[in-house]
Amino acid sequence: MEENKELEEKKSGNFIELEIDKDLASGRFDHVKTRFPPEPNGYLHIGHAKSILLNYGLSQKYQGSFNLRFDDTNPTKEKEEFVEAIRRDVEWLGADYHNEIYFASNYFQQMYEAAITLIKKGKAYVCELSADEIREYRGTLTEAGKESPYRNRSIEENLKLFDDMKNGKVEDGKMVLRAKIDMAAANINMRDPIIYRVAHMTHHNTGDKWCIYPMYDFAHPLEDAFEGITHSICTLEFEDHRPLYDWVVENVGFEQPPRQIEFAKLYLTNVVTGKRYIKKLVDDGIVDGWDDPRLVTISALRRRGFTPESIKMFVELCGVSKANSSVDYAMLEYCIREDLKLKKARMMAVLDPVKLIIDNYPEDQVEWLDAENNRENPELGSRKIPFTKELYIEREDFMIDPPKKYFRLFPGNEVRLMNAYFVKCVDYKTDETGKVTEIHATYDPATKSGSDFNERKVKGTIHWVSANQSKKVTVRLYENIVDEEKGKLNEDGSLNLNPNSLCVLENCYVEPELAKAKPYDSFQFLRKGFFCVDAKDSSPEHPVFNRIVSMKSSFKLNK
């Protein structure tokens, strides 16, 4: 109840909604249209998920619309592979873009015309200073910039030179088109920023049609304006660029220019979100691709077994803020546990097996016992599990010489085998190193699970699987990929990787029912956590389960 209240509070009105409310009340806009504008140069991560859900959520809340637009104005980096991956991720998160995608590069002609408009208004000029000179002339935070000697060319000359730039008559770097704003502006972004550059490069969409390309700060506001976006939501680092955004849409002459609103990026502890770092982990072979379950790309979270609902819940709990901060990874784990708790069957799997032999149980008998799938959600029904003379239990559930308060199996002690019988340990065997190789017990037929036996109680309940009726599988356990305690980065700027981030267990046994599981299916393994069938490496012959999250939580919602 408490938890829901907190969620509700977070949901009702973040500061962006308050701004939108004002805009609707003042008549600045009579509808809401948002967009998500990824650059197709990598896979989306949890931070992008926040942006997607925020933008899409606003369009839903105000019964407006939402565009998915690829910001592909930069001809060097974009790749088709990323376009497809991004579409899949946006769809998976449930942000409906009506199967219609927009490409910034489709506006190159209109952007070019917008540049011409500025030149004709005397608001843009062709500059021939070198890149170094432009930097030098720009000035500093404390010193005004100097005007370019090319600043006062005639409109005719500017039109002619811009035409030369466009027609391939100018080498890369020799000329740029700059907005004519104010070299003394306190905001350096307003000191005659470059809006077009010459680049003789092939673009993935427009091929060799263009050899001039617009700069981001010029292109982005235009893309928004062309699509009739009302609220252009972006992250904090663009705050200082907002005056330029406004200048562009105003001076190009849009009647109802879009409004930029900034919010703080989502950062998570113990994980890597920057594209640059993720790419390096992929390129260096430290992870097995952009969807390695230790990453927090959306495809990795999906492969790990996270659900869109859990990510939505997480993003809502994080809220929208104007101040940068890091969110504890444990909060994301809390959300997936909450989401799966009632949805998933609770099965038995033994990850570190040791044999338990029931001495008084018939040799070849297989007894199919009833097991409820989820005690807290009867709708999930029940299943049958095979009980046999030889079982596997977790090695940690037996001790030869237990400390006080150890209620699991030890010589002479009786425990409940979950969904089955009480068993009492009568003997055990060890190898020459003292390692336990098998445990012997006797069972009491009267204690069968579901019967009304109440003559005595036991303090411990342990899980098990049949030794010859179970399926052998691989299980992967994960820890965070970076070690935040010691600092995310080493002194040389490289990532401080956690050497234990992946632990592969090859000798695990699961209920036979689980052999039928398909990629992305997920389950609770009783006492061990939530697990998901790996979509890349699992096969019916050899299933591979990834641990999504353990059962233990270090996160408190009301902290």
Applying CB under 6 A, the residues found at the interface with ligand ATP are 37-39, 42, 47-48, 50-51, 234-235, 265-266, 273-275
> In this structure, which long-range contacts are made by residues 498-506, counting pairs with CB atoms below 8 Å and at least 24 apart in sequence?
501/294, 502/294, 502/476, 502/477, 502/478, 503/476, 503/477, 503/478, 503/479, 504/474, 504/475, 504/476, 505/351, 505/352, 505/474, 505/475, 505/476, 505/477, 506/474
The listed partner (Mg ion, ligand ATP, none) that binds 17, CB under 5 to 8 Å by sort, is: none
Pseudo-torsion of CA 187, 190, 193, 195, nearest 10°?
130
Sort strands 544-549 and 471-478 into parallel, antiparallel or unpaired: parallel
In whole angstroms, how close is the CB of 286 to Mg ion at the nearest point? 23
Choose between 39 and 444: whose C-beta lies nearer to ligand ATP: 39
Q: Give which of ligand ATP, Mg ion, none residue 214 binds (C-beta under 5 to 8 Å, depending on kind).
A: none
Q: Nearest 5°: CA angle at 81, between 66 and 543?
A: 100
**61 or 79: CB nearest Mg ion:** 79
Check residue 13 and give left, alpha or beta (phi > 0: left; psi -120 to 50: alpha): left
Q: Is 183 left (phi over 0), alpha (psi -120 to 50) or beta?
A: alpha
The set of long-range contacts for 22-31, using a CB threshold of 8 Å and a minimum separation of 24, is 23/230, 23/231, 23/259, 24/62, 28/259, 29/230, 29/231, 29/256, 29/259, 31/62, 31/64, 31/230
Question: Which does residue 353 bind out of ligand ATP, Mg ion, none, counting CB within 5 to 8 angstroms by kind?
Answer: none
Q: Which does 75 bind (CB under 5 to 8 A by kind): Mg ion, ligand ATP, none?
A: none
Which residues, 6+ apart, have CB-to-CB distance to 23 below 8 Å?
A: 29, 230, 231, 259
Smallest separation, CB 39 to Mg ion (Å): 5
Residue among 147 and 246 whose Cβ is closer to ligand ATP: 246
Nearer to Mg ion by C-beta: 39 or 288?
Answer: 39
Residue number, 229 or 517, with CB nearest to ligand ATP: 229
Judged by beta carbon, residue 265 or residue 343, the one nearer Mg ion is 265
Closest CA to 233 of 401, 84, 57, 88: 57
Using CB under 5 A as the binding rule, the residues of this chain from 15 to 44 that contact Mg ion are: 39
- Backbone φ and ψ of 181, nearest 5°: -120, -80
Per CB under 5 A, contacts with Mg ion among 36-95 are 39
Supply the minimum distance, in Å, between the C-beta of residue 492 and Mg ion. Answer: 25
275 contacts which partner out of ligand ATP, Mg ion, none, CB within 5 to 8 A by kind? ligand ATP
Tell the smallest beta-carbon distance from residue 111 to ligand ATP (Å).
Answer: 18
Q: Are 386 and 469 in contact (CB under 8 A)?
A: yes
The least distance separating ligand ATP from the CB of residue 42, rounded to whole angstroms, comes to 6
Tell me the site size for Mg ion, rule CB under 5 A: 1
Spatial contact of 251 and 119, defined as CB atoms under 8 Å apart: no
Strands 465-466 and 259-263, bridge-based pairing: unpaired
Nearest CB to ligand ATP, comparing residues 40 and 353: 40
Pick what 372 binds: Mg ion, ligand ATP, none; C-beta below 5 to 8 Å, kind-dependent. none
Smallest separation, CB 510 to ligand ATP (Å): 37
Cα(first)–Cα(last) distance of the chain, in Å? 15
Report the partner that residue 441 touches, choosing among ligand ATP, Mg ion, none (CB closer than 5 to 8 A by kind).
none
Rounded to 5°, angle at Cα 224 from 32 and 14:
45
Q: Which CB, 42 or 57, lies closer to ligand ATP?
A: 42
CA dihedral 234, 236, 241, 247 (to 10 degrees): 50
Question: CB of 180: closest distance to Mg ion in angstroms?
Answer: 27
CA angle 252, 254, 259 (to 5 degrees): 105
Torsion of CA 361, 362, 365, 366, to 10 degrees: 0
Closest CB 186 distance from ligand ATP, rounded Å? 25
> How far apart, in whole angstroms, are the C-alpha atoms of residue 222 and residue 206?
18
Measured from the CB atom, is 204 or 343 closer to ligand ATP? 204
Which residue matches tokens 């005719």? 156
The single residue listed with the structure tokens 């036991």 is 458
CB of 250 to Mg ion, least distance (A): 24
Query: Which residue, 287 or 423, has its beta carbon nearer to ligand ATP?
Result: 287
Q: Indicate the residue among 66 and 70 with the shorter CB distance to Mg ion.
A: 70
Shortest distance (Å) from residue 83 CB to ligand ATP = 12
Task: Report the partner that residue 48 touches, choosing among Mg ion, ligand ATP, none (CB closer than 5 to 8 A by kind).
Answer: ligand ATP
Rounded to a whole number of angstroms, the minimum distance from the CB of residue 493 to Mg ion is: 20
Q: Which of Mg ion, ligand ATP, none interacts with 241 (beta carbon under 5 to 8 A by kind)?
A: none
CA–CA gap between residue 193 and residue 216 (Å, rounded)? 11
Shortest separation between residue 224's beta carbon and ligand ATP, angstroms:
11
Question: Closer CB to ligand ATP, residue 106 or residue 374?
Answer: 106
Residue nearest to ligand ATP (CB): 47
> Which residues have a Cβ under 8 Å from the Cβ of 532 and sit 6 or more positions away?
303, 304, 305, 520, 521, 522, 545, 546, 548
And the tokens for 91? Answer: 């769809």
| Sites of contact with Mg ion (CB under 5 A) | 39
